[in-house]
Amino acid sequence: MIETLGVVGAGQMGCGIAQVAATAGFPVVLNDLSDEHLQAGLATIGGNLARAVQKGQLAEDQRRDALARIRTAVDYTGLGDCDLVIEAATENEPAKRKLFADLCSAIKPGALLASNTSSISITRLASVTDRPERFIGIHFMNPVPRMQLVELIRGIQTEADTFTAALAFIAALGKTATVSEDFPAFIVNRILLPMINEAVYTLHEGIGSVDAIDTAMRLGANHPMGPLQLADFIGLDTCLAVMQVLHEGLADSKYRPCPLLVKYVEAGWLGRKTQRGFYDYRGETPIPTR
């Protein structure tokens, strides 16, 4: 039974997972490399919860209790009493493999391990741990507090009890689970990221401007935001990483990352988190960069 949750990574996804779990009543240990990152993460969670109170989505005592359930740790030993530890670090396989290999010696033998990866093989990540049968993919959508869906991905060695426990955990968070086979990018990103990549090709080939492409898909396909706006929200480095996983994992040229996407990432224009991507966010109103 999952009672205490550990989250590795105090970025946007990790903080979202910690916030949702704490609001649902779970004690949470949030881990990151430095206290500075952790304090910034707690500030983000505090701000999100305060806005939820202002909107009438949460009572003040629920906000206070949720924050009180989150404690921080700058090393893995702080995760020693967790029943489930979810990794929400950068979308980079070598980095994740090292993280999981290091994590195993710090957590209790019966603890479950999970990755929030949006594209990387769960079977490969599980293989570097001492408990592949207790390893599973739990992929939350971004932003975690608002998005209802969670993808569950079983590796080859994932046992039925691990899957059942993860399913119950997602239900306790008030989320809806969908189950994907362990293939590159799973379900959502297998469909979504090639669409975003094609939108970048449409821009790259001069078929439409940033504004024209996003307006076309918002009004022509009834999407809540355009694909280039969405790419900026996700992070262009993450979009590129997923496309590279698809291209390498499936060996199909249709998944080749658009050269313009590569160029933006090389420039450090990663979207909202760096204030520039397909839009420039440094002013009051986002301005298309092409």
- Which residue of the set 31, 115, 116, 118 is catalytic? 118
- Does the annotation count 189 as an active-site position? yes
Instruction: Residue 139: count other Cβ atoms within 10 Å of its Cβ.
Output: 26
- Does the annotation count 34 as an active-site position? no
- Does the annotation count 139 as an active-site position? yes
- Which residue of the set 31, 91, 121, 151 is catalytic? 151
Q: In what order do the strands lie in the sheet with 112-115?
A: 70-73, 28-31, 5-8, 84-87, 112-115, 135-140, 149-154, 176-180
- Which residue of the set 116, 139, 180, 197 is catalytic? 139
- C-alpha span between 114 and 88 (Å, rounded): 9
User: Residue 103 contacts by C-beta under 8 Å, 6 or more apart in sequence?
Assistant: 8, 76, 79, 85, 87, 113, 129
- C-alpha span between 263 and 255 (Å, rounded): 17
Q: Tell me how many degrees the CA angle 36-42-46 measures, rounded to the nearest 5.
A: 145
The DSSP bridge partners found for residue 7 are 30, 86
Q: What residues act catalytically?
A: 118, 139, 151, 189
